[in-house]
Amino acid sequence: MSLFSRFFRKAPPTPAVTEVSARPPAPEVRPAAPTPDRALEAAKEETVLQAAIDRNDPDAIARLVVAGKSTRIRQLAAHAVNDPARLRDLIREVRGGNDKSVYKILTSKRDAHLAEARQQGQVQEELNTAAAAVERHSHRPYDALFGPTLDQLEIRWKGVATHASADQLEQVRQAIDRSREIIASHLRQVAVEASRQLAAENAAAEAQRVRELEQKTAAAAAAERAQVEEAARKERADQLAAEALAFRQIGGLIRKARGALDEGSTGRAAGLRRVIEEKLAGAPPLSPYLTNQLHGLDTRLTELEDWKSFSVAPKRAELLEEIESLVDSTLDPPVLAERIKGLQEEWRTLSKGAGENLEEDWQRFQGAARKAYQPCREYFEAQSLVRQENLQRRAALLARLAAFANGHDWEHPDWRLVLVALRESKQLWRQHSPVDRAAARELQEQFVAVTSQLQDRLDAAYAAHVGQKKSLIERAQQLSLSEDSRKAIDEVKELQRRWQSVGVVPRDEDHRLWEEFRLHCDAVFQRRQQENAEYNAALEANRVQAVAACEELEGLSKLSGAQLLGSTAHIAELRNSFAALGEFPRGAARELRNRFERALDQCEAAVERQKLRDTEQSWSSLLEVANRVRAYKLALLSEPDAALHASLRAAAETHFAAVTRWPRGGSEAVKTALEKAAGADLEANEKALRMLCIRAEILADRPSPAEDQPLRREYQVQRLMQAMGQGVTADATEMDTLTLEWVQAGPIEEGRYAQLLERFKECRPH
C-alpha cells in the first residue's frame, strides 16, 4: 500500500479553504466573490461530508462525489471513498463528465487498490511457492547440495514468513526440522564411516608393522644363512681343491706307471702302483675316468706280470684268434678300426723282450688285421669323398658371400641383412665339414678375409649406432633435469621414437644402452608424476585453507556486539586470502566457493543486523536520557526543592555521560533540551507528544487509539492540503526526525509519558 493511500484510511476533516465557484465567470467581467449564501451552503455541505465520514456512511459520501455543489467537496468526497466496489461504480458514473479531477482521484484510488491486491497476491504466491519448496526439499535424499539448498530455502522463507499463517509457519517449521534431521543423519553416517575407515587404517598400519618386522627377521635369517653357506662353500672349495690336487697326483702316477709298462719295466710300474695305493688311502673316491685308467693299469700290469711269470705264447694265440675273429665283423668301421688298433698295440707290448722268432705269428696277425680293416678302408675312402664335397660347398658359399660383399649398396647399407648374411654364412661354413685341412686352408683364409671385411663394416656401423644411442642417452639425461616437465616428456617420447629408428647394435651392448636410456626416461616420467602429486598436494592444501577460512567465517557470523563489529577487518582479510588461494580440487571448487560466499553473506548480514541493533540501542539510550531530562524539567515546574532539581539534573547528566554511542543529532538534541526552558503548559506538551505518536503511527502504518482519531484525521487532512498537487512522500529518516523532536518536547506527568513513550517506541521497528 502506498503512503498516499495510507493517509486516507479515514476521511480527513474539512480544511478551512475558500470554495471555488463551479461555474466559470462571463468572459467580459472579472469573477465575483462568493455570496454569503453560497459560502453558507458550501460550509453546510462540508459539514454534511464530515458527518458522513464520521459515521462512515458510504452512500452519503458517494452522493457528494457525484452531486457535490463544488469541485472541492466532490474531490474531498472522492478521497474519502475506500471501498473498491464503490470506486468502480462511481468511476462508471462520473466517466465522461466535466469533473476530470474527481475521475482522476477515483481511478488513482482504484489503481492503488488493484496494485495493493496484486502485491498481496504476489506475496501470497511467493509464500506458497517458498513453503512448497521447503516441503519438497524435506522429502529429498541427502546429497552434496542438500545443506546449501536448505539454507537458501530458509532465507527465502524468512523473507516472506511475516505474511504467513500460523498453520503455514508450523508446516514449514516441521519441514525444516525434517530436513535438518536428514542432514544430522547423514553426518552420523559420515562419522560412523570415518570411524570404520580409521579402524581399517589402524589395522592396516599394524599389519604393515608386522610385515616389516617379519621382513627384517627374514632378512637377518637370510643373511645368517648366506654367511653359513659362504663358509660351507669356501670349505667345499678348499676340499675340492685338495681333491683335485690328489687326483692330479694319482693321474700323474698312473701315467708314469703306464710309461714304465710301455718300456717293459714291470718292477718300476709295480713300485709306482704301490705309491698310488698309498695315495688312495687318504684320497676321496676316484672319478670314473681315473678308475678306468687305474683298472687298465692293473690289467696291463697283471698281464705283463703273468706273461713274464708264465709265457706270452698263450696271449699271442688269444690275440691271433681275436684279430682273426674281426674279419667280416659287423662292428661299425670307426669302432672296428679302434679295436684293430688296440690289438696291434697289445701285440707290440707282448713282443717286447720275448727273445724268440715271432715273424710267422706276426705275418699271420698282420694278414688278419688287413682283412679285418678292409671295411674300415672303404668307410674312410667314402669319408674322403664327403670331405671333397664339403670343400666344394665351402667354395660355392665363399663365392656367394664375396658377391654379396661386392654387390651390396654400401652407400645405403641394410645392416640387418649384413648381420644375417654373416651369421648364416658362418653357420653353413661350419656345417660343411669335415674337409681336408690342407686343401681347405686357402679357402679358409679367403673366407676369413671376406667375413672380416664385412665384420669390420658392421663394427663401424655398430660404433656409429652406439654413438647415436649414447647421444640420445645424454639428451634424455639432460631432460631428466629440465624444469619444464611437460615439454621434457614430449621430447622424451620423440627420443624414444628416434631410438627405434637407430640401426643395429650388438645385443649385449644394445641391452645395456637401453637400460641406461630407459632409466633417464623413467626419471622424466617419474618427475612429472611427482610434480602432479605436488600439484595435487597444493590443491589439497588450498582446499584445507579454504575450509578453515569458511569455518572461521561461519564462526564469526555467530558473534555479536563489539566482537562482531570488531571482526569486519578480519572478514576483509579472509576474503582477500581466500581470493589469493588460487585453484582447488575440481570436485570441491564450486562447493568451497559457494560455502565461502554463503559464510561471507552471513557475516555481512550479521554485521548489518548488529549495526541496526546498535543504532536502535542508541535511539533507546537517547529516549532514556530524554526521560531523565523530562523528569528534571517537570520537577522545575512542579517542585520548589532546589536540591531535588540538582539531583535530577545530575542523574540526567550522568546518564548522558554514560552513553557511548549517539545517533546523529542525538547528543545535540539532549543538550538543547536540557538547557531549553520547560514549557509550563503540560496539556500542550502532552498534545505535542500525542501528535508525535500519531505521526509515527502513520509512518509505521499502525492504528491510533480511538481518542486520538480526530487528531489523526486533522493531521492527515492538513498534510493532504499542504501536499495538494505535489503528492505525499515519506522519507526513510522521518522517524529519526520525529525522535529528535520527541527529545525536545516539553515535560508531562510520568504515567501519561510512559504510555505515550511506549506507543512511540512500538512504531520505530516498523
Q: What is the pLDDT of residues 501-516, one digit of tens each?
A: 888 888 888 888 898 8
Using CA atoms, how far residue 411 sits from 35, 279, 407, 415, 457, in Å, is 136, 70, 11, 11, 12
3-26 as b/e, with b when 16 or more CB fall inside 10 Å? ebbebbebbbbbeeeebeeeeeee
Report the pLDDT value the prediction gives residue 306, as an integer from 0 to 100. 58
Residue 655 counted as domain residue: yes
Reduced to 3 states (helix: H, G, I; strand: E, B; else coil), residue 174 is helix
All residues at 6 or more sequence positions from 572 whose CB lies less than 8 Å from its CB, including other chains: none
Residue 396 counted as domain residue: no
Contact between residue 412 and residue 463 where contact means Cβ atoms under 8 Å apart: no
Domain holding 172, by residue range, is 166-310
Tell whether 681 and 636 lie within a shared domain. Answer: yes
Written as one string, the DSSP assignment of 219-245 is HHHHHHHHHHHHHHHHHHHHHHHHHHH
Tell whether 298 and 240 lie within a shared domain. Answer: yes
498-512 as b/e, with b when 16 or more CB fall inside 10 Å? ebeebbebeeeebee
Lowest-pLDDT range of 206-210, 304-308, 478-482, 725-729: 725-729
Q: What is the pLDDT of residues 201-235, one digit of tens each?
A: 888 888 888 888 888 888 888 888 888 888 888 88
Tell whether 641 and 751 lie within a shared domain. Answer: yes
Q: Tell me which of 265, 282, 310 is where a domain ends.
A: 310
Lowest-pLDDT range of 164-168, 381-385, 519-523: 381-385
Using CA atoms, how far residue 282 sits from 242, 291, 292, 521, 713, in Å, is 11, 16, 19, 62, 145
Q: Tell me which of 505, 534, 564 is where a domain ends.
A: 505
Tell whether 203 and 304 lie within a shared domain. Answer: yes
Decide if pLDDT at 732 tops 60. no
- 650-655's contacts with Cβ under 8 Å and 24+ in sequence apart are 652/625, 652/628, 655/624, 655/625, 655/628
DSSP 663: -
Residue 511 counted as domain residue: no
All residues at 6 or more sequence positions from 364 whose CB lies less than 8 Å from its CB, including other chains: 320
d(CA 705, CA 364): 170
Decide if pLDDT at 669 tops 60. yes
Residue 613 counted as domain residue: no
Q: How many domains, in total, are found in the chain?
A: 4
Tell whether 639 and 737 lie within a shared domain. Answer: yes
Q: Tell me which of 279, 310, 341 is where a domain ends.
A: 310
Averaged pLDDT, 291-305: 75
Tell whether 497 and 433 lie within a shared domain. Answer: yes
The number of angstroms, rounded, from the C-alpha of 568 to the middle of its chain's C-alpha atoms is 31
Averaged pLDDT, 403-429: 87
pTM of the model: 0.35
Tell whether 69 and 178 lie within a shared domain. Answer: no
Please name the residue ranges forming H helices in 558-585: 561-566, 568-579
Residue 364 counted as domain residue: no
Decide if pLDDT at 495 tops 80. yes
Tell whether 22 and 123 lie within a shared domain. Answer: yes
Averaged pLDDT, 323-335: 79
Tell whether 172 and 291 lie within a shared domain. Answer: yes
Averaged pLDDT, 22-28: 37
Residue for grid cell 698295440 = 345
Averaged pLDDT, 62-88: 83
Tell whether 88 and 198 lie within a shared domain. Answer: no
Residue 618 counted as domain residue: no
Report the pLDDT value the prediction gives residue 311, as an integer from 0 to 100. 52
Residue 153 counted as domain residue: no
DSSP 20: P
Contact between residue 333 and residue 380 where contact means Cβ atoms under 8 Å apart: yes
Decide if pLDDT at 145 tops 80. no
pLDDT averaged over the chain? 80
Under the banding of pLDDT at 50, 70 and 90, the label for residue 308 is low
Tell whether 187 and 305 lie within a shared domain. Answer: yes
Q: What is the pLDDT of residues 255-266, one digit of tens each?
A: 888 787 777 666
Report the pLDDT value the prediction gives residue 21, as an integer from 0 to 100. 33
Q: Return the axis-axis angle of helices 734-743 and 750-763, rounded to nearest 10°.
A: 170
Decide if pLDDT at 28 tops 50. no
Under the banding of pLDDT at 50, 70 and 90, the label for residue 728 is very low
Residue 572 counted as domain residue: no
Tell whether 214 and 304 lie within a shared domain. Answer: yes
